[in-house]
Amino acid sequence: MAQVISERRDVEFVLHEQFEVGTLSKNDRYAEFNKKTVDMIVNEARNLAVKELLPICKEGDEQGCTFDAGKVIVPESFKRVYDLFNAGEWLAMTEEPQWGGQGMPHVVGQAASEYFNGANYPFMMYAGLTHGAGKLVESFGTEAQKAVYLKKLYSGEWGGTMLLTEACAGSDVGALETIAKKNDDGTYSISGSKIFISGGEHEMVDNIVHPVLARIEGAPAGTRGISLFLVPKYLVNDDGTLGAFNDVVCTGIEHKMGIHGNCTCSLTLGGKGACIGTLIGEENKGMGHMFLMMNEARLLVGMQGFSCASAAYMYAVDYAKQRVQGANLVKPKEGGVAIIQHPDVKRQLLTMKAYVEAMRSTLYYVGLCQDYVHVAEDAETKEKYAGLIEILTPVAKGYVTDRAFEVCSHAIQVYGGYGFIEEYPVAQLLRDCRITMIYEGTNGIQAMDLLGRKLGMKKGKVFMDLMAEISKTIAEAKEVPAVAPFAAKMETALMKLGELAMHMGKTAMSEKVLSAFSYAHPFLEVTGDVVMAWMLLWRGVTAAKGLEKAKKKDLPFYEGQIKSLDFFTGCVLPVTLGKMEMIKATNTAIVDISEDSFIC
């Protein structure tokens, strides 16, 4: 197989032609990241992914993690590759060099992350949560906490997790029961139990740092009374050496449908009354602080789902070109042909292609917006791009993982019966992908976030900024003959989305609020469809310009970009418009049906 994980030419197209990331080097912050350097980084990431992470993916799935008397044993090949990953300083590639990062642009980090996660995202979860824990320390920690923890986390020498969920407090985090009692020395004694903790216990690192949500005794109920604490597996002495075990005990691991290479742990804190944590940030502000890590994790989850889809697409294309089965419909006497010649198989491949390309551009664009926030010279520009990140996060997590799972399902269908067999890679990709629709806030919660919070941010300005950016691409596309017809279809969809957004906003603030939220997920779907169409139109404009000077070998690629746009605007957007009409009608059956009518 020529390529695995991702289509190299498409990654280069998004980075250098669609987004022109080399121009970021004009800013002092990213001065050293010109095109040559960016290509070198992505090549190194690809090599590590293909040569080291991918070969241990199946082994990780088959061996899984095992639990033995409080200890968790990860697949035996993981430790060596984890050390290789950290030696390359990949964990904190976009962070400040002063804390051990490489300071590279986020959009470039997205390209590297696609390869790493596409190769073995259960393995990458250990690094991903460690980075998130480090970001919390960098953003809210005291200078003393930074000195103790930050470089250890960003280097991967220590691991990190995210302790939110409890048996009684899943999506309703405010119902948590973990308690923090303040000690005379300013530390806190922590007691409680947490579940579904990815990477909560393992032996690949010397220490694991747990950011823990807990309620200080006497604090208000609900999320208003939650604080955030750093709770290391081993206490850290003043000189930075490790001290006593900190009474954080793993009581078991989950047996899951997928992501077997990552341990999902239940942890008991302070079972013997000896668990010590230090407050990070302000008292009773823990939920707000943790949202920094949660939003980062949501974007990471979007990347995880997408990476499964990208890899599944690559496998499906390769299989469809090699698998000979049945004759060509219009040439029945010429014998068997590769199944890619059959219209229904090609339909599925083009569906996969269009979504994978649009999702890649969307996730990379969010990374680019993060870079624009850093390099913006005025507050207004910085605020605009920060707002775009906010409103695109539910799409990048919720919509992307929904579509990614569908892409993985199409891959199994292309393989036929072989796709359902574990000897072939697409079965694992489907299983691993499924959790991305659930964790870090189910996709229903992402939809509620879009409707209930993001749509009305800054009195609707953030949503209008998104529409304005899309409108710029439409205006440019109208001047390019090869894509102008598709721009007209895109404009119709955008205008209808704007009208629908106003309707949904008003309905959500009326006595029909429950009806509005019963259509929150369909609203996320149509918003995502329009964002995907935007990215494909942007790609189409870029490809049309590329065709003008393309070499013969590049013609199929550029023409393929325009065909993806043609397919999406001709076959997907009409369905989107129908969905918009359905949402606007706001049928009340969902709200009106009695609970007793659901018979069990």
Could you list the active site residues? 440
Strands 324-328 vs 208-216: parallel, antiparallel or unpaired: unpaired
- Token output for 528: 């995502």
Q: Give me the phi and psi of 31, to 5 degrees please.
A: -55, -35
Instruction: Say how far apart CA 190 and CA 268 lie, in whole Å.
Output: 10
**CA 4 – CA 6 distance, rounded (Å):** 6
The token duo for 562 is: 């325009």
Least Cα distance to 528 among 291, 290, 305 occurs for: 305
In the chain, DSSP finds a helix count (H) and a strand count (E) of: 20, 14
Q: Which helix (H) or strand (E) holds 578?
A: helix 573-585
With beta carbons less than 8 A apart as the criterion, state whether 288 and 304 touch. no
Query: Within a 10 A sphere around the Cβ of 578, how many other Cβ atoms?
Result: 11
Cβ 210 vs Cβ 198: under 8 Å: no
Report H helices in 237-342. 286-322
Number of Cα atoms under 13 Å in the Cβ half of residue 368: 16
Distance CA 312, CA 332 (A): 30
> From CA 472, how far away is CA 203, in angstroms rounded?
51
Pick from 235, 226, 361: nearest CA to 306: 361
Q: Which DSSP state fits 338?
A: E
Cα 169 from Cα 150, distance rounded (Å): 29
Nearest to 482 by CA among 428, 553, 547, 408: 547
Concatenating the DSSP letter of every residue in 478-523 gives HT-TTTHHHHHHHHHHHHHHHHHHHHHHHHHTSTTHHHHHHTHHHH
Taking a C-beta distance cutoff of 8 angstroms, is the pair 298, 396 a contact? yes
Orientation of helix 379-394 relative to helix 343-375, angle to 10°: 150
> Are the beta carbons of 497 and 530 closer than 8 angstroms?
yes
As given in the structure block, the two tokens for residue 445 are 């919660």
